[in-house]
């Protein structure tokens, strides 16, 4: 059931925006191995491959926000969607910021942590993928939003467990404290992806409940 039939172009723009946010996450996934093994740093390349995609997402977000302000939606529906868009924006920003740890801050991740770091990122991206699907269901199938949002919540809980375990490994290493704190910040930045995915899913559920009743 489409709950904004008179504003079909807004639905199309939101779908495109979610796809662009997903693309930024895909770029993070592709870039992350080279960040961990130092190959990007060896090229002395300060560019961030996620940035151009995040920049496009920013442009799409601003365009969508303008449409929401000037469209025919009721004020409550407009407010709900603006909150949703802003929460999605924090995810694409987070993807860019994770690469900044390597492209600008030149963080060195000990080899002993590489496998766990990769696995932790992939689990957070799994939460984001499920989150993106909740937004798509909001546009097409309100009845199944809650079930998928529950899946996002479950994955986010798994991410929390992995984050605590990974942080313990970081602080057990024989490294300077400043290095440990830098690694902690990276772990927490990655963990923010699933935290934010859960927030988006919760927003979607609240919107879906309002639209169904």
CB-CB neighbours of 62 under 10 Å? 12
Note the pLDDT tens digit of each residue in 112-131: 999 999 999 999 999 999 99
pLDDT attached to residue 210: 79
Question: Residue 82: what pLDDT?
Answer: 92
Given a cut of 50, is residue 89 above it in pLDDT?
Answer: yes
**Cβ within 8 Å of residue 59, ≥6 positions away:** none
Alpha-carbon span 82 to 78, nearest angstrom: 6
Residue 1 banded pLDDT, cuts 50, 70, 90: very low
More confident of the two residues 118 and 213: 118
Q: Mean pLDDT over residues 39-63, rounded?
A: 83
Average pLDDT of the residues in 66-70: 81
Note the pLDDT of residue 72.
64
Average pLDDT, stretch 45-58? 88
Would the pLDDT of 77 be above 80? no
């Amino acid at each position: 059931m489409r709950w904004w039939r008179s504003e079909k172009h807004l639905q199309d723009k939101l779908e495109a925006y979610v796809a662009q946010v997903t693309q930024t996450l895909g770029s993070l996934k592709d870039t992350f191995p080279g960040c961990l093994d130092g190959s990007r740093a060896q090229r002395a390349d300060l560019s961030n491959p996620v940035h151009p995609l995040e920049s496009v997402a920013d442009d799409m977000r601003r365009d969508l926000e303008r449409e929401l302000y000037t469209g025919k939606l009721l004020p409550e529906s407009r407010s709900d969607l603006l909150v949703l868009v802003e929460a999605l924006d924090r995810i694409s920003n987070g993807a860019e910021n994770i690469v900044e740890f390597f492209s600008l801050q030149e963080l060195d991740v000990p080899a002993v942590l590489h496998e766990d770091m990769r696995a932790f990122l992939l689990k957070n991206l799994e939460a984001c993928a499920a989150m993106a699907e909740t937004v798509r269901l909001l546009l097409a199938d309100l009845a199944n939003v809650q079930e998928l949002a529950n899946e996002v919540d479950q994955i986010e809980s798994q991410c929390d467990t992995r984050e605590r375990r990974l942080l313990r490994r970081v602080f057990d290493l024989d490294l300077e404290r400043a290095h440990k704190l830098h690694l902690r910040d990276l772990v927490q930045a990655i963990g923010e992806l699933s935290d934010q995915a859960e927030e988006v899913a919760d927003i979607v559920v609240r919107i879906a409940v309002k639209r169904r009743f």
